Structure 1
Amino acid sequence: MSEWNTRDELLAKVRAQMHEKRYVHTLGVAASARELAARFGADPEKAELAGYLHDYCKCWPVDKMFEILVRHDMPAELLEGEKELWHAFAGAIVVQSDLGITNPEVLQAIRYHTTGRVGMTLLEKVVCVADYIEPNRNFPGVEEIRRLAETDLDAALILALGGTMQFLIEKQKTVFPLTLLTYNDLISLKKESRRV
């Protein structure tokens, strides 16, 4: 049984977890995810729900997220990696336990919205790209990702992940292995589709 019955109740719970700027971002991601889902054939309701919940734990203290991840036996490479990734994995756990979200597609879209994964589903790609292109985002290259997302979701995701990895390398931060594997997987799929 979920602890909320209406969209307004859900949004009140989401809003209570974060500061105003993060909440505005969250609404932007949900709207962008719904739009991308409609454009590319994913479920708009699931996309919007995952968008609302994707950053549920983003503003939580890192020690609280760490405790959740350890309790759920998350891999060492995640726990030892950049803390910026923790909110996605912790969020998928928390929205299931605290909000009663049980749809595996929605939970996976939340879990992998920052790292990606090999063999991403359409819904996962939608939420990941929506997180990059929502209207409040403003970073070098965002307009090109938005342009690509009009017609080619995979190309938009490749550019977005590539930009993230480049940023991390320039800052001498670690690149999470799953993100590199995701990028390589998407590139391989692109090459295969060109051969067909």
Structure 2
Amino acid sequence: MTDKLVYTKNIYNGSREELINEVKAALSAKRFQHVLRVEKMATELADCWQVDEELASIAALTHDYAKERSDADFLAKISEKKLDPNLNNWGNNVWHGVVGAEMVKDELGIYHEDILNAIRQHTTGGSAMTKLSQILYMADYIEEARDFPGVTEVRALAFKDLGASVGWQTAHTLAYLMGKQVRIYPGTLLTYNTWSVK
């Protein structure tokens, strides 16, 4: 069970409970409950796909750490870290992953690149995704409170064929965004071309 998971690899300088408290302090109650559900799903997927559950737990608990930060905080971090200037043209949906990973590194002291890349990719995906990145991408999408057409199907798929579930999510997300006629982050198109196209 997730609540009995003990951190042993010195990836985070503290216990799971201490990390939970840091994340809880940064988020609204509703967002924090979502984070706990993502952690539960991520560790279940990690068990299924032989990925380290500690890595999955830390990535899941921190994936939305920066979600409720101000635009000014993100723009300052983009400048400070000399990230791609094109990021200035996007918004929270992209920033809280791509830029949020830098906040996780600087503020929580988590430097494990697999975890940071999973956070960076959890909303946009990527053409190259580790199993951990795929797990976080899917856990965020299919945590138990999610309710949308096809959720039961894609939940089952994630435990049967993880890569195919990444493709399913990306195709459906792209269709949703196109239906809303909003701009689409180029990284999402790369994810679609890699994971969704047969």
TM-score by length of 2: 0.89
Offset of residue 2 of structure 1 = 8.2
Distance 2:93 2:149 in 1: 20
In structure 1, the partner of 2:98 is: 89
Corresponding position: 1:37 with 2:42: no
Q: Hey, what's the Cα distance between the residues in 2 that align with 1:153 and 1:182?
A: 14
Moved over 4 A (4+): 1-4
Please name the residue that 2:35 is paired with.
26
Distance 2:177 2:196 in 1: 20
Offset at 1:3? 8.0
Q: Give distance in 2, aligned partners of 1:76 and 1:173.
A: 20
1:183 & 1:126 partners in 2: Cα distance?
A: 17
Match of 1:171 in 2: 180
Q: Which structure 1 residue ranges, 5 or more long, are not aligned?
A: 192-196
1:48-94 CA distance string (max 9 Å, x none): 11000000000111221121122212223332134311001222111
Query: Residue 160 of structure 2 aligns to a residue in which SS?
Result: coil
Go from structure 1 to structure 2 and tell me whether the alpha carbon gap of 1:135 and 1:75 turns closer, same or farther (over 3 Å shift): same
Cα deviation digits, residues 128-180 of structure 1 (max 9, x gap): 00000111212232222112112011111111111111111111111111111
| Contact 1:81–1:174 (CA under 8 A) maintained in structure 2 | no
- Asked if structure 2 preserves the Cα contact closer than 8 Å seen for 1:88 and 1:110, the reply is yes
Determine the structure 2 residue equivalent to 1:132. 141
SS of residue in 2 equivalent to 1:170: helix
Root mean square deviation of aligned Cα: 1.7
Letter in 2 for 1:157: V
Alignment of 1:185 onto 2:194 = yes
C-alpha distance in 1 between matches for 2:188 and 2:112: 24
The one-letter amino acid of 2:19's match is: L
1:1-196 → structure 2 map (5 Å cutoff): 4-187=13-196, 191=198
Does 75-84 or 154-163 show the bigger shift?
75-84
Q: Which amino acid aligns with 1:155?
A: A
Distance 1:81 1:124 in 2: 22
- Structure 2: where are the runs of 5+ without partners? 1-9
- AA aligned to 2:37 is G
- CA distance in 2 between counterparts of 1:166 and 1:62 reads 27
TM-score normalised by length of structure 1: 0.90
Distance 2:44 2:33 in 1: 17
